[in-house]
């Protein structure tokens, strides 16, 4: 049997009767009358006998030409069992996976256990019903039922991946904002600690001669503008510019256009106190800094209004996932029932 369209297939089953020891010159087979008749009440468990044909022919084999009569049965598979046991349950499971799109993401992440459990449950249910079914034929190629199971599996798995993706985006933006805020506050504290002694030096310069307090090195005019701080790349900035920029604490991305990047501490003892997840996030941010992606991310609406963008993604998925699944089903049933 060719089971590529299983369970939407129709099978042709031939029955041939002939002689092996006598050729056509010695024995000829023929039907004396119509070989069989079909009763309208004839039913099989998995098949429906649609029609049959009969006749005779001469077959050529290694020992010569032989007379053969044949009777060919045409069967259609009963699809009702598979509709009730496979197609309908898998469709309901796929539709159940869409419920996650209506579980709105909150600040505290209260929806995370529900969405994770629902996504994992739907994936396991598709695997159990689809791939673990005993009614599937054991063949080495994909049948029509396998194609439908794969479509359902991809649908529920992508719904789970969608939640993981928006959860990663939310966590990434939270950590990026925390990292940016830490940098801004650190550099603000550094700026205030650096300006205090400089103001004191200027006050002394007004009272005494500069040569008696500070040696003339040619940098006296730039003393209030240049400073060097460990952990800061090329920390040459205008103090007035830093103070002006740091005054608007709500506009962190614009502040980061002025402030330099603080290098992470290289002390092994400090790194030893960090968890492996914090180290992983640190490596990720450092790599993104190297290719200048963080600056682009800070200019996006995702950075400034993360909850609304995530909710918009869920709203789009509420329409896209059912539409794609419906289109795939239309293409599936049209192909296997009418085209192939």
Mean pLDDT of 294-318: 89
Between 312 and 178, whose confidence is greater? 312
Query: What is the biggest distance separating any 2 CA atoms in the chain, rounded to whole angstroms?
Result: 138
pLDDT at 70: 94
- Rg of the chain, C-alpha, whole Å: 39
- Count helices and strands (H / E) in the chain: 12, 3
Residue 76: strand pairing partners: 10, 48
pLDDT at 109: 76
Look up tokens 């003393």; give the residue. Answer: 223
Burial 27-65 (b: 16+ CB within 10 A, else e): eebeeeeeeeeeeeeeeeeebeeeebeeeeeeeeeeeee
User: Residue 253: helix, strand or coil by DSSP?
Assistant: helix
- pLDDT category of residue 5 using cuts at 50, 70 and 90: very high
pLDDT at 201: 44
Share of the chain above pLDDT 70, in %: 73
Q: What is the pTM of this model?
A: 0.71
Mean pLDDT of 95-121: 89
Task: Report the C-alpha gap between 229 and 160 in whole angstroms.
Answer: 47
Say yes or no to pLDDT of 37 above 60.
yes
pLDDT at 251: 56
Q: What would the DSSP string read from start to end of 71-124? A: EEEEEEE--HHHIIIIIHHHHHHHHHHGGGGGS---TT-TTHHHHHHHHHHHHH
| pLDDT tens per residue across span 208-249 | 443 433 334 343 343 333 333 343 343 334 334 444 444 444
């Amino acid at each position: 049997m060719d089971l590529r369209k299983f369970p939407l297939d129709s099978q042709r089953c031939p029955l041939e009767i002939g002689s092996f020891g006598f050729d056509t010159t010695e024995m000829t087979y023929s039907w004396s009358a119509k070989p069989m008749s079909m009763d309208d009440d004839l039913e099989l468990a998995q098949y429906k006998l649609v029609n049959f044909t009969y006749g005779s022919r001469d077959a050529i084999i290694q020992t010569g030409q032989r007379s053969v009569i044949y009777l060919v049965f045409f069967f259609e598979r009963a699809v009702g069992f598979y509709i009730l046991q496979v197609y309908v349950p898998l469709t309901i499971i796929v539709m159940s996976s869409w419920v996650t799109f209506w579980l709105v993401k909150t600040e505290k992440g209260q929806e995370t256990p529900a969405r994770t459990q629902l996504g994992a449950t739907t994936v396991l249910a598709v695997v159990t019903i689809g791939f673990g079914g005993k009614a599937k034929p054991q063949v080495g190629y994909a049948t029509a039922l396998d194609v439908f199971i794969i479509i359902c599996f991809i649908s529920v798995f992508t719904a789970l991946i969608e939640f993981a993706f928006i959860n990663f985006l939310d966590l990434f933006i939270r950590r990026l904002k925390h990292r940016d805020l830490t940098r801004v506050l650190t550099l603000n504290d550094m700026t205030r600690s650096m300006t205090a002694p400089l103001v004191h030096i200027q006050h002394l310069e007004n009272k005494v001669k500069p040569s008696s307090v500070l040696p003339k090195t040619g940098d006296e005019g730039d003393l209030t503008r240049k400073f060097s701080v460990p952990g800061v790349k090329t920390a040459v900035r205008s103090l007035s510019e830093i103070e002006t920029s740091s005054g608007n604490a709500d506009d962190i991305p614009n502040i980061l256009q002025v402030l330099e990047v603080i290098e992470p501490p290289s002390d092994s003892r400090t790194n030893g106190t960090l968890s492996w997840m914090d180290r992983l996030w640190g490596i990720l941010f450092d790599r993104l800094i190297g290719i200048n992606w963080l600056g682009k991310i800070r200019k996006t609406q995702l950075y400034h209004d993360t909850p609304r963008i995530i909710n918009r993604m869920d709203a789009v998925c509420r329409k896209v996932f059912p539409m794609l699944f419906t289109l795939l089903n239309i293409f599936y049933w049209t192909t296997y029932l009418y085209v192939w």
